[in-house]
Chain A
Amino acid sequence: MKKLLLIAVAAAALMTPRIVSAHHGWGGYLDAEFEISGTVTTPVSLAGPHATMSIKGTDGHEWLLTLAPPPRTSAAGLKDGMLAVGTKVTAHGHRSRDNNRYEVKTERVTVDGGKTYNVYPDRT
């Protein structure tokens, strides 16, 4: 019967994916700093484990900006529904390690000619 336990543990271990495209933490993003400018297509959402927004990049791609967790994003001044569609912004952070995934784990968002929202002020 101890075998059953062993099987259970082995099954759990096998299901752990080799490459984890991290939703949490920074492991799934490149170390290099990254910047992309564009216009807002989806305003800030504070729903879920991380706040998000999206922009149409000057490179033509739709970029998902993964922000800090909702309380922290809100504390940085980015409230739910903020930044009207069409607002020109620049996002600074780290892009996904997956080249086909247009996602930036965003440290700060700067509105052109306006405010900078630093959602991770302890990171440069």
Chain B
Amino acid sequence: MQASALGHFMRDSGPWTYAIVNLAHVLGISTLFGSILVLDLRLVGVGRRVPLAALSSAVVPVAATGFVIAATTGVGLLATKATEYVGNPFLLVKFPAIALGLINAAAVRFTGAWRAHQLRDLTPAEERRLAVLGGVSLLCWLTAITAGRMIAYW
């Protein structure tokens, strides 16, 4: 990974490259987390006066965009000196947390409740199911961000 063209680009394209890619990574993360936080809180039960259908149609594309930016820039940051991060325990927390977050997001999409929420009001049982998934989502992204920040302090 370090020997890849991306790794070379990160190292050899001037002293500001890492800083700028790092900035984009932070913007990607804040876009993802800021938007998913609002949706997950709503699923958990905060701000029920906002209709879920309206909120989700606004928030999901923003969150997805944030994720793509964070993920692509993240690969660049890692490729800069990939060998230095081997054995960093926080990576072993961060990547599974991201994987779980994505699996959870896919699980939300496939629940009957999520597929129905644009069409009709949800039953209390359906709301509870989404609330659990929303809570898991928050837990996953908080863990990923915390572990990610700690990578630099190992």
Cβ-neighbour of B131 out of A1, A20, A24 (below 8 A)? A1
Task: Tell whether, in the assembled complex, residue A47 and residue B80 are in contact, meaning their CB atoms are under 8 Å apart.
Answer: yes
Q: Which residues of B contact A11 (CB under 8 A)?
A: 139, 142-143, 146
Q: Which of B3-39 contact A (CB under 8 A)?
A: 10-12, 15-16, 18-19, 22
Instruction: Give the interface SS of chain B, mostly helix, strand, loop or mixed.
Output: helix
Q: Which of B134-149 contact A (CB under 8 A)?
A: 135-136, 138-139, 142-143, 146-147
Assess whether A15 is in contact with B18, with CB atoms less than 8 Å apart.
no
Categorize the interface residue count of chain B: 20 to 34
> How many residues of chain A are within 8 Å of chain B by beta carbon?
29
Residues of A1-38 at the interface with B, using a CB-CB cut-off of 8 Å, are 1-2, 4-5, 7-9, 11-12, 15-17, 20-24
Chain A residues with Cβ below 8 Å from B147 are 15
Residue pair A20, B153 in contact (C-beta under 8 Å): yes
Do A8 and B152 touch across chains, with their CB atoms under 8 A apart? Answer: no
Contact of A71 among B12, B19, B139 (CB under 8 A): B19
Q: Is A49 an interface position by the 8 A CB rule?
A: yes
B113 located at the interface, meaning its Cβ lies under 8 Å from any Cβ of chain A in the complex: no
In the bound assembly, the distance between CA atoms of A23 and B81 in angstroms comes to: 14
> Within 8 Å CB of B110, what residues of A?
none
Residues from chain A with a CB closer than 8 A to the CB of B153 are 17, 20-24
Give the number of residue pairs across the A-B interface with Cβ within 8 Å. 78
Instruction: Out of B80, B142, B150, name the residue touching A16 (CB < 8 Å).
Output: B150
Q: Is the CB of A4 within 8 A of B44?
A: yes
A80–B12 touching, CB < 8 Å:
yes
Closest 9 CB pairs of A and B: A4-B135, A70-B15, A47-B11, A12-B146, A74-B15, A71-B15, A1-B44, A8-B139, A20-B153
10 new A-B contacts, CB < 8 A, other than A47-B12, A70-B16, are: A4-B132, A4-B135, A8-B143, A11-B146, A12-B142, A15-B150, A17-B154, A21-B153, A51-B15, A73-B15
21 A/B residue pairs, CB under 8 Å, sorted by A: A1-B131, A4-B135, A4-B138, A5-B135, A5-B138, A8-B138, A8-B139, A12-B143, A15-B93, A15-B146, A16-B146, A23-B152, A23-B153, A23-B154, A45-B11, A47-B11, A47-B12, A48-B80, A48-B81, A51-B15, A69-B15
Chain B interfacial positions (CB closer than 8 Å to A): 10-12, 15-16, 18-19, 22, 44-45, 80-81, 84, 93, 131-132, 135-136, 138-139, 142-143, 146-147, 150, 152-154
